[in-house]
Amino acid sequence: MKAVAYRVPVTGADRARAGLALHLAAALAGIAPEAAARGKGGTAACKARWLALYLAHVGHGWTLDRVAHAFGVTRSTATAACRWAEDARAAQRFDDVVDRLEALMREAFDGPELEMA
């Protein structure tokens, strides 16, 4: 019998929030969100994806497990991304940009929910 990988169901809301983080990171890197989503296309795509994982972790307050499931990566990948971003925050310019992105994400999702029915 073939082993099946354990997967936690990811809600549409989590995918939307992960998508926002991915789009913001890709826009800053000047690349298409699709390239960042795959992490393919060179250093910029990889770093944009890692930044998106980190933004989901700090901007949404998600656990690393939740980040991993929402982005379809392993927990170790999410951990490595967050470690890279924390180290990169030593540079003041990067830290300032990340602070702004975190604030944007919180502002977008704080407050009343919008019913689209």
User: Quick check: pTM over 0.95?
Assistant: no
Distance (Å, whole) CA 77 – CA 100: 24
pLDDT band at 19 (very low <50, low <70, confident <90, very high): very high
What pLDDT was estimated at residue 114? 74
Most confidently modeled of 1-5, 75-79, 102-106? Answer: 75-79
Nearest to 73, CA basis, from 2, 18, 12, 4: 18
What pLDDT was estimated at residue 41? 73
| Chain segment 35-57, per-residue pLDDT in tens | 888 867 789 899 999 999 999 99
Nearest to 55, CA basis, from 30, 12, 84: 84
